[in-house]
Every structure is written in structure tokens, then in C-alpha cells.
A = this chain, B = another copy of it.
Amino acid sequence: MPTNKEYIQMIEQALRSYLPSQKGLEADVCKAMEYSLMGGGKRIRPILTLEFCRLCGGNLLAALPFACAVEMVHTYSLIHDDLPCMDNDDMRRGRPSNHKVYGEDIALLAGDALLSLAFETMLSPRNAGLAGEDRAARAAGLLAKASGATGMVGGQVIDLQQEGKPTTIEVLQQMDEKKTGALIIAAAEMGCVIAGAEENKLAAARTYTRAIGLAFQIVDDILDVTADSKQLGKPVGSDETNQKNTYVSLLGLERSRGLVKELTEQAIKVLEQFPEDTSFLSDLARSLATRQY
């Protein structure tokens, strides 16, 4: 079983290999794509693809293009999210955001090109052949659905519309399930699909990722109230300042903490569906729940 660090090495090496060459007249957009794609991050989504593939007895090398594709989709969404017409964020992961470095036009196009590159990577004759074209088509179809209007983009739209307005816990949860949940769920599902797993394992993968995805979001909201701003790397209390609807503002701190505990237990419990060693994923669920930043 690879360690987290080994997974990240594998993923970053592959991501680099899939990026387009910077030799043509379109070099600027290729540089902008590299800037954000190789700019760090926890690589949780591609790790989920690989680890679920491994748990289902699949070939990690066949899953690698699909793991990288979900990271490309995630990265494109961050570039577009940071644009002035969206969240207008100047910084991302401690560096200037893409449009601050390359300009809005190139940043927009770099995001667009990363979304296309995700599908190009999964569906190249070589990579689709390695996974099997039927599995490749099914996995890529799951990622397409998860990233679109009824998935991630839909969640971003709900987020835009709720801004500054009172909301309910149901709406907040639906927003998170789409905005961040859909992609995390698809990451895990793709790993199972590439391994040719049975339906019960796909269902378990969905339950696990839905639970940790939601728990992750609630922990974010808790940390915004309780964390040390130096440790968190951003000012605490920003949600309240921005009148953002959060789990903490809607449920209070205690119930939010209880919900994280419940979701984490649910995630760990469902891993029993896999006869293999699931300690990587149970550790991941615990570490996301107890993180301090």
C-alpha cells in the first residue's frame, strides 16, 4: 500500500507529463495551466481515485490518468472561482492567483483548457486502452456529470445565490454536496469503475466520500471560528464578517462538532465493505475531522 507521500509523487509526476508543451505560439496558456496545476495542494481527490482502485483490486497505472483528470477539473474550478467576476481572490495557496499572474483572459482560457485536458487525458487511445474503453467511457462520463450544471457548477451557482441571504441547513448541505461533494464522490467512483468493482463497492465509495466531504466542509466552518489565524493561514472570523451562512452559524458549534463525529464514524464504518486493509482511508477520515488548519 503506497503512503500518502508516494501517492502524491506518483500523481504530480503524471500531472506534469500530461501538460501540453510550452513551445507553440499558445505557450502562455500552457504556462498558466502549469502554474495552477503544479502549485501544490493536498491532492485528496486523485488519492481517493487511486486508493479506491487499489482497494477494488485494480491497476493503479490504469487509474492514474483518471486520478489526474479529477485534479485538473478541481484546479480549473479554482482558477475560475478566483476571477474578478466570481470571488475576486488575489491569492490562492499562498501565491498570487492565476489571473493576477497571467491576466484575466489567459486565466479564463487556462481554466477552460484544463477542463478539456481532463477529458483528453482520460480518453487518449493509450490511456483509455489501458483502462479498457468501456471502463474509461463510464468513468469519464461520471466525471463529466459531476463537474457540470447538476454537480460542481450547480453548487457554485447555489453558492452565488445564497450569498448574504439567510438560508437553511438543507440548502447549505445541498450546495456543499454539489460544489465540493460531487467531485470527491466521482473521484472515488472512478477508482472503483477502473478496477471493475461491483455495485456494492461503488455504493460504499459514495457513502464514504459523501460523509468525509461534508465533514471536511463543517470542519472548515468550525476552524473559521476556533482556529489560530496564523496556523490557518488566513484571518479567522471571516465567515462572520462576510455574513456567510455556515454550519456553525446555523447549527452552533456543539452540534457542528457532533455532526463531524457522526459523519466520520459513518465513513469508517462503511469501509467494512472492503475486505482489504482500509487503514489508509480510515486514517484519512480521522485526520480530516481532527485537522487544526
Contact = CB atoms under 8 A, between A and B. Distances in A.
B140 A26 contact: no
Interface in A146-186: 147-151, 153-158, 160-161, 171, 174-175, 178
A141 interface: yes
A29 B104 contact: no
Nearest to A107: B85
The residue among A80, A84, A150, A174 with the most chain B CB atoms within 10 A of its own CB is A150
Contact of A123 (B84, B117, B144): B144
B120 A105 contact: no
A115 B105 CA distance: 18
Contacts of A133: 133-134, 136-138
A238 to B, nearest CB: 20
A204 interface: no
Given A26-B154, A26-B178, A85 B104 contact: yes
B24 A160 contact: no
Interface residues on A, range: 35 or more
Contacts of A85: 83-85, 104-105, 108
A157 B119 contact: no
Contacts of A145: 116, 120, 124
A165 B59 CA distance: 50
B28 A157 contact: yes
Nearest to A147: B116
A119 B106 contact: no
A225 interface: no
A26 B150 contact: yes
Given A109-B156, A120-B148, 20 more contacts: A20-B150, A26-B149, A26-B153, A30-B149, A76-B112, A80-B109, A111-B112, A112-B115, A113-B149, A113-B153, A113-B154, A116-B145, A116-B148, A118-B144, A119-B140, A123-B137, A125-B141, A133-B133, A133-B136, A137-B137
17 contacts: A20-B149, A28-B161, A29-B154, A80-B112, A85-B105, A86-B105, A116-B147, A116-B151, A116-B153, A118-B144, A119-B119, A119-B140, A119-B141, A120-B144, A123-B141, A128-B141, A140-B140
